[in-house]
Structure 1
């Protein structure tokens, strides 16, 4: 009987102990059984988190302790101390679906041209829903991120990059990493099933980044600086950019569209 390839699930945790058990249960519920988990305690200061992590005792789980260096460094540390052929980054407050790993590994084993296996994303927490599926292109990825942080990739491809960039400590480190992984080519396949469940919290890190425009501008510029070589080769479609999406999803834009609607209707009637 052929042995299933090992997959390493890397879970950084900074003060997210109240969600960690739920996250781990979602991994243990997988139909795919050849996995290891590396939990990286990224210098948590929360007593509950430290207690929860200290009580982890499972043959498939390795716990690493680190001073707080941010999620990029924590993921890199976890990957360095793992041994799987495939890598799945997973944040401590999120969950994965029962079929995700099995479907992803089967696809990667059969398709050498596929570098990343993405999936449909379900939202839960303070907001529920399913995110629309996006067709991959490198040009679109340079404009905005639409690959979930918990997509699956090969260790061998990871080793061709410098890992998650620590200079993206304040956010968008996954976007920056996908560019690094895919800038020299490779396909991205999105599974039809819901494979990843992203928790929406009132103090969500990405939500706070988006609300602080100047902070967001700084992060966006840092991604450009990290990948000037590839950005210089591609002309971005402004309507595909994250900046454009940010504007169109703003309350101000939606209110303006609503107020202008009757005026535009009248204009069409008389012209």
Structure 2
């Protein structure tokens, strides 16, 4: 008999963190799951720690040469048997009732989205719930909210019907290292009929200072390459016109990635496109500030950005 949920955990050099993650899943109140751990070529002993769990009947341990987190998730999907896919990062944990809460809200939908709560390694909550009320959304409305960052673009804290995945879902070049989850969500949602968003806390996103996202250095060129793949996904789903306003808001947000990069200038063709698009929608104060900063010379912009960032954390 196939499991109800396939939990896929990509692992890379997190030897001190993987055990709490796996234990939090094994202690779930809902036990109708399989765990697929994909060790993505770790060199710190993470793979050996994963192997300690290989004798448990509902755990698969897969080792592969280092290929990146997207390839690790793809390997997990290829080996999954569950009706639902649930992604968990190997340095995070699940509250005890997470799977039960998600599955209880899965009736007549293709995706269930719960609340992901950032916490410190000692368990202190850093941010309150981001979704205050439950919503039942169409595919298009959900994608619009993703583009406008009104719903988190991460892959975790949610269930996806396994039938939504195909060869295209995770087909991205390895150099797309930030935001690949965003594109995956867009591609899956485009194939879904209905998505349920719930306010329940279902995922602990543990904030470690040495995480890969903290090490990622953004650039304006990266934002332009990322936009190419994002737009390709929307065009393949014939959503570029339906979601036009939301795409414009996403483009303005992409300017944030270039504010500290001298390559972003008023002469840049993508910046000119965004500035022209921005005239077609109502802008928030933050969006107006981003456009203003992006359009001033880099030395001044950099100094202003540093000052504003310091003020924002006070």
TM range (shorter): 0.7 to 0.9
**Shift in CA distance, 208/258, structure 1 to aligned 2, threshold 3 Å:** closer
State the match for 1:232 in structure 2.
240
1:116 aligns with 2:111: yes
Which consecutive segments of 4 or more residues in structure 1 shift more than 6 A?
244-247
State the match for 1:34 in structure 2.
32
* 2:17 aligned counterpart, secondary structure: helix
* 2:254 aligned counterpart, secondary structure: helix
Q: Give the drift of 1:33.
A: 0.9
Q: How does 1:131-150 map to 2 (within 5 A)?
A: 131-133=129-131, 137-144=142-149, 146-150=152-156
Q: Give the drift of 1:49.
A: 1.2
- Structure 2 portions without partners, runs of 5+: 136-140, 260-285, 291-302
Q: Give the drift of 1:175.
A: 0.8
* 1:88 aligned counterpart, secondary structure: strand
CA distance in 1, matches of 2:145, 2:66: 33
CA distance in 1, matches of 2:200, 2:102: 11
1:242 aligns with 2:242: no
CA distance in 2, matches of 1:197, 1:252: 34
**Shift in CA distance, 75/81, structure 1 to aligned 2, threshold 3 Å:** same
CA distance in 1, matches of 2:197, 2:66: 33
Please tell me the root mean square deviation across aligned C-alpha atoms, in Å: 3.2
Count, aligned residues: 252
What is the TM-score normalised by the length of structure 1?
0.79
CA distance in 2, matches of 1:171, 1:20: 22
CA distance in 2, matches of 1:76, 1:17: 22
Which of 219, 230, 245 is the aligned partner of 1:223? 230
**Shift in CA distance, 75/252, structure 1 to aligned 2, threshold 3 Å:** same
CA deviation profile, 1:2-41 (whole Å, cap 9, x unmatched): x996211001101112111010111011110111100011
CA distance in 1, matches of 2:304, 2:87: 35
1:165 aligns with 2:171: yes
What is the TM-score normalised by the length of structure 2?
0.69
- Structure 1 portions without partners, runs of 5+: 260-271
Which of 184, 199, 204 is the aligned partner of 1:197? 204
Q: Give the drift of 1:63.
A: 0.4
State the match for 1:86 in structure 2.
84
